[in-house]
Amino acid sequence: MDTDILIAIPARYASTRFPGKPLAKIAGKEMLIRVWEIAAKAAEGFSGCRAVIATEDERIVSFCQERNMECVLTSQSCKTGTDRVREVISKLNISPRFIVNLQGDNPMCPPWFVKALIEAYTKDNALEVVTPCVRMSWEELSQLRESKKLTPFSGTTAVVDKDGYAIWFSKNIIPALRKEDGLRESEEKSPVLRHVGLYGYSHKALDAFASLPESYYEKLEGLEQLRFLENGMKVKVVEVDYKGYGSMSGVDSPEDIIRAEALFAEHGEFV
């Protein structure tokens, strides 16, 4: 099939903190199936859109083959999910114009977040990089400030220009808010955008990212998206909404499974 848009799902079995993580069950369903279903739902309505799982382990390959989930075995030496995505493209001998990197340990990513990136690209295929942000409520902003007292590098925020392109991302909360009490009275939501770790790239931008060395501020902040900004590449920010669902980042530990199950029990399934 012609592949214009690729949703690539890196799924590493040999997680140091949680071995076999992609095949761990959440409310009776393997995490990787949940992420695959998110990708399939997001792909609906887009011609030439294809989802592929990228893994370094034969156990995941066998699991996918039994369920008709397309999967490619990649090298053990891939350092990042981005490297694994590029290897998949090479092995399949395809040249998608747009690639979404949907991590296989992110079963709490709403499918409409992925769809929002694809829609942004289909409206403007000159975009280099697209990523989502959520505008924080005042309560969420207060909670983020509290959490940063204990874990200062949890949670990333962003500021954008008038056209919605990222000016900067930071582990600090940006922008600083003067006269915040007045803002809380006059504005329903805060001006703070929390970044969601999901990316869509043009094929050219993905190759450029991989060829560039780690940049100065990327290393200081621990944020790979700063490599784009420090090298003059534009990052389009798409504002998204959880639509009442509880938010959660990826699954990193068995304890996160319990948290994910609680959110599904409270809000229901995405698919």
**Which among 132, 114, 235 has a CA at the least distance from the CA of 193?**
132
Q: Is the pLDDT of residue 262 over 80?
A: yes
Intrachain domains 1-106 and 109-247 with the same fold: yes
Q: Is the pLDDT of residue 182 over 80?
A: yes
pLDDT confidence of residue 79: 74
Q: Categorize the per-residue pLDDT at 247 as very low, low, confident or very high, splitting at 50, 70 and 90.
A: confident
Q: Indicate the range of 27-31, 162-166, 228-232, 253-257 predicted with least confidence.
A: 253-257
CATH of 1-106, one of 3.10.20.600, 2.30.40.10, 3.20.20.140, 3.90.550.10: 3.90.550.10
pTM for the model: 0.92
Query: Do 118 and 99 form a contact (C-beta atoms < 8 A)?
Result: no
Mean pLDDT of the chain: 93
pLDDT cut 90: percent of the chain above it: 80
pLDDT confidence of residue 16: 76
pLDDT confidence of residue 144: 93
Q: Is the pLDDT of residue 73 over 70?
A: yes
pLDDT confidence of residue 1: 58
Q: In the CATH scheme, what architecture does the domain 109-247 have?
A: Alpha-Beta Complex (3.90)
Q: Categorize the per-residue pLDDT at 161 as very low, low, confident or very high, splitting at 50, 70 and 90.
A: very high
Give residue-wise pLDDT tens across range 112-153: 999 999 999 999 999 999 999 999 999 999 999 999 999 898
Spans of all domains in the chain: 1-106, 109-247
